[in-house]
C-alpha cells in the first residue's frame, strides 16, 4: 500500500511530522494497526538498525529515525489498545545502578516497542533488587541491562550474579549492551546475549525466543 511505503520512508529519513501524518492517513484508510506497525514502522527501524550496524549512518541519524517512529506510535497507540494484539514477548529494560545515561536505553525501548514487544522501562540507576522485583512481578521473557560508563561494568556483573542466585533462570534471557560492553564481557558476566546496538538487540531477542 502506498501510504505504508510513505510511512516507511518518513521514518527511515527521520521526518517526524510526515510520520504522524501518514500514520493518521493509514488509520483513516482502515489499514489494521498490525499492518501499519509491521510494514510501515518495523521494516523502517530494522533497516535503520542494519544501516547503523554497517556504519552507513550514525547515532544522531538513528535517534532522529527513532523519534519519528515514536511520534507515529503516539498516533497509533490509542487504537492498538482497542484491538487484540499479539505480542512477541515482554522485555524489562534498565540502566544499571550508578549509571544515569538513558539515550541508548530509550532507543532500545522504542525499537522493541515498535517491533511488537511489551516493554517495561525501569529507567536509569536501577538497583539489582529493583530488577529482581520487576522480573517477579512482570514475568518477562527478556531482561535488558544497559551500561554506558566503564566504571559501572562491575555493577552489571553483580546484578546478573544476584539475579542468578535469586532464581532467575533461562525462562528470562538476560541481554547486556552499551558502549563499554563487549561480547567477551557479556559471556564472562554470564549474560545470555550481547548486542552492540539497538538494531542487533531486536534480532538477538527474536533469535533467543525462536521468533
Task: Using the predicted structure, report yes or no on whether residue 49 has a pLDDT greater than 50.
Answer: yes
Span 162-208, pLDDT tens digits: 999 999 988 999 999 988 999 999 999 999 999 987 778 888 999 99
Residue 54: per-residue pLDDT: 85
Query: What's the grid cell of residue 176?
Result: 547486556
| Residue-range domains of the chain with CATH | 2-80 (1.10.1240.10), 90-208 (3.40.50.280)
**What are the b/e assignments for 153-188, b being 16+ CB within 10 Å?**
bebbbebbeebeeeebeeebbbbbbbeebeeebbee
Span 38-48, pLDDT tens digits: 788 878 887 88
Residue 84: per-residue pLDDT: 45
Span 109-163, pLDDT tens digits: 877 887 789 999 999 999 999 999 999 999 999 999 999 889 999 999 999 999 9
Indicate the SS3 state at residue 104.
helix
Residue 83: per-residue pLDDT: 54
Residue 25: per-residue pLDDT: 96
Q: DSSP for 15-49?
A: -HHHHHHHHHHHHHTT--HHHIIIIIIIHHHHHHH
Residue 157: per-residue pLDDT: 98
Instruction: Return the bridge partners of 52, or none.
Output: none
Which is more confidently placed, 53 or 83? Answer: 53
Is residue 147 within 8 Å of 175, Cβ to Cβ? no
**Surface-to-core class of residue 58, CB atoms within 10 Å of its CB (0-12 exposed, 13-18 middle, 19+ buried):** exposed
Residue 81: per-residue pLDDT: 54
Which is more confidently placed, 189 or 108? Answer: 189
Task: Using the predicted structure, report yes or no on whether residue 18 has a pLDDT greater than 50.
Answer: yes
Residue 209's φ and ψ, nearest 5 degrees, are -95, 0
Amino acid at each position: 500500500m502506498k501510504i505504508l511505503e510513505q510511512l516507511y520512508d518518513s521514518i527511515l529519513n527521520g521526518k517526524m511530522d510526515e510520520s504522524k501524518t501518514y500514520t493518521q492517513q493509514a488509520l483513516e484508510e482502515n489499514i489494521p494497526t498490525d499492518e501499519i506497525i509491521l510494514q510501515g514502522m518495523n521494516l523502517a527501524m530494522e533497516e535503520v538498525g542494519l544501516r547503523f550496524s554497517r556504519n552507513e549512518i550514525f547515532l544522531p541519524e538513528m535517534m532522529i529515525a527513532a523519534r519519528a517512529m515514536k511520534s507515529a506510535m503516539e498516533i497509533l497507540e490509542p487504537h492498538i489498545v482497542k484491538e487484540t494484539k499479539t505480542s512477541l514477548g515482554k522485555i524489562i529494560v534498565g540502566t544499571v545502578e550508578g549509571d544515569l545515561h538513558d539515550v541508548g536505553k530509550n532507543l532500545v525501548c522504542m525499537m522493541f516497542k515498535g517491533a511488537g514487544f511489551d516493554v517495561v522501562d525501569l529507567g536509569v540507576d536501577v538497583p539489582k533488587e529493583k530488577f529482581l522485583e520487576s522480573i517477579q512481578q512482570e514475568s518477562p521473557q527478556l531482561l535488558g541491562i544497559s551500561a554506558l560508563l566503564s566504571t559501572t561494568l562491575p555493577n552489571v556483573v553483580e546484578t546478573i550474579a544476584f539475579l542468578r542466585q535469586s532464581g532467575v533462570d533461562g525462562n528470562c534471557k538476560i541481554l547486556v549492551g552499551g558502549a563499554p560492553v563487549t561480547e567477551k564481557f557479556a559471556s564472562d558476566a554470564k549474560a545470555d546475549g550481547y548486542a552492540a546496538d539497538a538494531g542487533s538487540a531486536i534480532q538477538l531477542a527474536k533469535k533467543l525466543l525462536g521468533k
